[in-house]
Structure 1
C-alpha cells in the first residue's frame, strides 16, 4: 500500500482526563489499583476489532484504520511502561518523548498485520499489568518529568494509559 494521507492532527492535551475523565468516550478516573485488572480486559477487545474484515480499512482518508489505532495503543503500552518503570527505579526521571503521529508514519502502522498486532498487544498487556501489580501503596505518587516540564505521577500514568486504550476502542467501535 502506498503511504496514505496523514491522519487528522490531534492537538488536544489529553492529560485533562487524568483528573476530569473524558466526555467523548465516558472514561472516568479510576482507582489506580484497578489498572492491571482493567488492562487484562484489553487484548480480547482488541482481538475482536482486529479480526474484523475492515481492520485495515480507513473509514476516511485522514482517519486511522483499526489496525493503525491498535498499533498506536501497542506503542503506548510500551512507552508508558518504560516511563512507569523508570519512575519506580529512579528519583524524578526525565520521561522520554513520544510523538504518536510521527511514529505511525515512521513505523508504517497502516501496513501492520492485524493478527501480529493482536498478539503483540496481549504480550505487552501481560508485561504492563505485571508492572502495575508490583506497585506498592506508597509508590503511586512517584514522579517523572516530561520534556515540557510537566510533572506526572505513576497514578497519572495509569489513568492516562487506560483512558487512551479505552478511548481508541470507542474510536474503532470496539
Structure 2
C-alpha cells in the first residue's frame, strides 16, 4: 500500500475538497458536540497532517532516525483559527498539501521506504517511511469519514 500512498492521498484530498466546496458553510463549521471537531476543522487538520508528514519524510531522508516532534493537533484548532478559515481556500490548500506530500513519496528510492524516524504517537517508537505513508492514508480516510458523517445528506436530484 505504501507505494500507492502518493496517488491515494491525492484522491482522498480531492474528495475532501469536493465536500468543502459543496456543503453550506453553516454545516461545515457546526460542531456536533463540545470537543468534537466540525467538518471544516477536520479538513484543516488533514491539510496540516499532510504538510507535517511531508516534512517528517524529508527529515528522515536527510538525517538518520530523526525525532518527529508532536504537531500540536489540538492546539492548532485554536491557534490557526480552523473554524474561521474559508472552505474554498482550505479545499485548495488541502489539494496542494496532498500534491506536496505525494511528490516526496514519488521521489523516494526503493531503499528509502525503510528509512526510519522516531514517531511520538501514541508512544515513541521507531517507524519506517513506509509506515508513515500508510498511517497518513489512514488519517485521511478516517477524517474524511468523520467529516462526511457530520454533514447533512445532500438533497436528492430534483429537490
What TM-score range do you get, normalising by the shorter chain?
A: 0.7 to 0.9
Partner of 1:115 in structure 2?
88
Aligned-pair Cα RMSD in Å: 1.5
Partner of 1:136 in structure 2?
109
Partner of 2:48 in structure 1?
75
Q: Is 2:133 the partner of 1:163?
A: no
TM-score by length of 1: 0.77
Indicate conservation of the 8 Å contact 2:117/2:126, yes or no: yes
Partner of 2:15 in structure 1?
45
Distance 2:148 2:84 in 1: 21
Higher helix content, 1 or 2: 2
Partner of 1:13 in structure 2?
none
Indicate conservation of the 8 Å contact 1:56/1:114, yes or no: no
C-alpha deviation, 1:150, in angstroms: 1.5
Cα deviation, 1:108-160, whole Å, max 9, x if unaligned, reads 21111111100101111111111010111111110111356411110110011
TM-score by length of 2: 0.84
**Alignment size in residue pairs:** 144
Partner of 2:154 in structure 1?
none
Could you tell me which runs of 5 or more consecutive residues in structure 1 were left unpaired when the two chains were aligned.
Answer: 1-30
